[in-house]
Amino acid sequence: MPLKRRQIAWRAAQDLVDGAYVNLGIGLPTLVADVLPADREIVLHSENGVLGVGPAPGDNEVDWDLVNAGKQPVTLLTGGSYVHHTDSFLMIRGGHLDLALLGAFEVSQKGDLANWTTDDPNFPPGVGGAMDLAVGAKEIRVLVEHTTRAGAPRIRRQCGYPLTAAGVVRRIYTDLAVIDVTSAGLVVRELVDDIDFRTLQAKTEAPLHAAPDLRPLRAPAL
Amino acid sequence: MIDKRVRSLADAVAGIPDGATILCAGFGGAGLPDALCEAVIEQGARDLTIVANNAGTGRTGLAALLATGRVKRIICSFPRSSGSVVFEELYAAGRIELELVPQGIISERMRCAAAGLGGFYSPVSVGTRLAEGKEHREIDGRMYVLEKPLKGDVALLAADRGDRWGNLSYRKSARNFNPTMAMAASLSIAQVRHFVELGEIDPETVITPGIFVDRLVEVPA
């Protein structure tokens, strides 16, 4: 069974280490905030100047002065702090974040990331903080559905859409697999049950290599 | 005696010239000076360039100003969001020019102008379309592009509290672009939720010191 969006987020969250400073991009990565491992202290950074983002507020606790990168209301953890935009992006570009989890339109076999424009003339482009994050965080991982709704692969030999940054993505979490970008190409670490490797390859434009210890990708029902 | 408080929104935005570059603070609706944006409509300046992270939502505030057709150009990182109907209509009709700049680069370019610096070399956008035409330079083995300062004629700000000297404090993530924009414009105008007496804002928590603020007007939440 392919993972649901919340399960992809859960799987990415399992790899976060205690004490990590992590930025979550808008869309799929934002869901990670709701499925963090309870046994670890993970400090979430939001580009709009929030360090220590907490879970979504209850209906009576919504404060529109406190939002995340997707402009959704959030809370602040005890120990959290606020900074202004220039300092927030100093944290991003200056290598102070351990990890950024980002969404993508496409990722290439070399770790190129495309997530800011599809060149559709009807949709104005929007780069937001993506380019700052892509070159500034110590590590970039991507959460993405393996194919488009039309079934086209999002993991490609080369990105067809304009790049956000070249060669920055180290790990890709999809609804079907966990894939590492290595100097020897794309290595599949985990694969969902009831899909075989050949089927995964057929849904992926770039060549894949199975890890010697390829494991099943499973997540709780959530 | 210093008193930067003004009585009305009209007084706050008086004198903004045609062709002005206006820095408009806010991230989505948080920290957005919506009342000042609407006051600029009444004030009447045209051929404006707006610098803002987003391009407004709904039909109020910044979106209402765009809807007048008096903004020729917007410098923005993320113009499209749910509800950005006015911008999308103008963009599709070719009635507004968009300069897309990565979010942290907009902010740092304004900081640069505020600090009297001539620009900075940034690794952001190297190898992408947004770096085309920019001076490239390798420094200690890494490639950078030259980014130039971005100065405003006017900054429109939204703060929580302000005193007659122009000292400002903010609430939570509504701080966002406000402190940097306050420093980066010739004329900085703040709408504040509460006027307070001098000294009521603990000096340790003044985020924008009054030297950066020219006018403030009270707009209760």
| Residues in chain A closer than 8 A to B124 (CB atoms) | 93, 131-132, 135-136
Task: Share the mean pLDDT of chain B.
Answer: 97
Please report how many Cα atoms fall inside a 13 Å half-sphere around the Cα of residue B64, on the Cβ side.
15
A127 touches chain B (CB under 8 A): yes
Residue of chain B with shortest Cα separation from A132: B124
User: What is the average per-residue pLDDT within B11-24?
Assistant: 98
Q: What angle do CA A55, A192, A220 make, to 5 degrees?
A: 35
**Using CB atoms, which residue from A124, A163, A165 is nearest to B91?**
A124
- Contact between residue A25 and residue A42 where contact means Cβ atoms under 8 Å apart: no
Q: Do B124 and A50 touch (CB under 8 A)?
A: no
Mapped onto helix, strand or coil, the DSSP state of residue A188 is strand
A164-215: pLDDT as tens digits: 999 999 999 999 999 999 999 999 999 999 999 999 999 999 999 999 999 9
For chain A, the domain total comes to 1
Q: Does residue A123 surpass a pLDDT of 90?
A: no
User: What is the average per-residue pLDDT within B54-73?
Assistant: 96
**ipTM of the complex in this document:** 0.96
Q: How many CB pairs under 8 A join A and B?
A: 132
Q: Do A132 and B176 touch (CB under 8 A)?
A: no
For chain B, the domain total comes to 1
Residue range(s) defining the domain that contains residue A13: 5-217
Instruction: State the pLDDT confidence band at B126, using cuts at 50, 70 and 90.
Output: very high
- Contact between residue B20 and residue B153 where contact means Cβ atoms under 8 Å apart: yes
Q: Match 């010697």 to its residue by tokens.
A: A212
- Report yes or no on A138 lying in a domain: yes
| 3-state SS string for chain B | CCCCECCCHHHHCCCCCCCCEEEECCECCECCCHHHHHHHHHHCCCCEEEECCCCCCCCCHHHHHHHCCCEEEEEECCCCCCCCHHHHHHHHCCCCEEEECCHHHHHHHHHHHHCCCCCEEECCCCCCHHHCCCCEEEECCEEEEEECCCCEEEEEEEEEEECCCCCEECCHHHCCCHHHHHHCEEEEEEEEEEECCCCCCCHHHCCECHHHCCEEEECCC
| Residues in chain B closer than 8 A to A49 (CB atoms) | 173, 175-176
| Catalytic residue list of A | 47
Q: Does residue B169 surpass a pLDDT of 90?
A: yes
Mapped onto helix, strand or coil, the DSSP state of residue A192 is strand
The CATH number of whichever domain residue A140 belongs to comes to 3.40.1080.10
- Report yes or no on B2 lying in a domain: no
Quote the CA–CA distance of B156 and A163 in Å, as a whole number: 33
Residue range(s) defining the domain that contains residue B191: 18-100+151-216
CA distances from A33 to A28, A68, A127, A221 (A): 10, 11, 22, 17
- Report yes or no on A13 lying in a domain: yes
A16: nearest Cα among A46, A41, A47: A41
Q: Does residue A163 surpass a pLDDT of 90?
A: yes
- Report yes or no on A203 lying in a domain: yes
- Report yes or no on B189 lying in a domain: yes
Q: Does residue B221 surpass a pLDDT of 90?
A: no
- Report yes or no on B184 lying in a domain: yes
The CATH number of whichever domain residue B200 belongs to comes to 3.40.1080.10
Query: What are the start-end ranges of the H helices in chain A?
Result: 5-14, 85-93, 130-136, 197-202
